[in-house]
Amino acid sequence: MQTIKGPGIFLAQFLGEQPPFDTFESICRWAKELGFKGIQIPTWATSYFDLKQAAESKTYADEIKGKVNELGLEITELSTHLQGQLVAVHPAYDQLFDSFAPAEYHNNPKARTEWAVQQLKYAAQASRNLGLDAHATFSGALLWHTVYPWPQRPQGLVDTGFTELAKRWRPILDVFDENGVDVCYEIHPGEDLHDGVSYERFLEKVDNHPRACLLYDPSHFVLQCLDYLAYIDHYHERIRMFHVKDAEFNPTGKQGVYGGYSGWVERAGRFRSLGDGQVDFGAVFSKLTAYDFKGWAVMEWECALKHPEDGAREGAAFINDHIIRVTEKTFDDFAGGQADEASNRRLLGLD
Across the chain, what does the average pLDDT equal?
A: 96
Report the b/e string of 193-227 with b at 16+ CB within 10 A: bbbbebbebbbebbeebebbbbbbbbbbbbbbeee
Asked if residue 145 has pLDDT above 70, the reply is yes
In this predicted structure, what is the pLDDT of residue 331?
66
Question: What CATH number has the domain bearing residue 210?
Answer: 3.20.20.150
pTM: 0.94
Extract the runs of DSSP E, i.e. beta strands, from the chain: 5-10, 38-42, 74-80, 134-137, 182-186, 212-216, 239-244, 246-249, 269-272, 296-299
Cα atoms in the 13 Å half-sphere on the side-chain side of 311: 24
Q: pLDDT tens digits for 187-205?
A: 999 999 999 999 999 999 9
pLDDT higher at 226 or 330? 226
Which residues constitute the domain of residue 233? 5-347
Asked if residue 321 has pLDDT above 70, the reply is yes
Asked if residue 245 has pLDDT above 90, the reply is yes
Asked if residue 261 has pLDDT above 70, the reply is yes
In this predicted structure, what is the pLDDT of residue 330?
73
The structural domain count of the chain equals: 1
In this predicted structure, what is the pLDDT of residue 335?
63
Asked if residue 291 has pLDDT above 70, the reply is yes
Give the residue-averaged pLDDT of 129-145: 98
Give the residue-averaged pLDDT of 96-100: 97
Give the residue-averaged pLDDT of 9-24: 96
DSSP 118-147: HHHHHHHHHHHHTT--EEEE---BSSGGGS
What percent of the chain stands above pLDDT 70?
98
Q: pLDDT tens digits for 201-242?
A: 999 999 999 999 999 999 999 999 999 999 999 999 999 999
In this predicted structure, what is the pLDDT of residue 351?
77
Q: pLDDT tens digits for 26-48?
A: 999 999 999 999 999 999 999 99
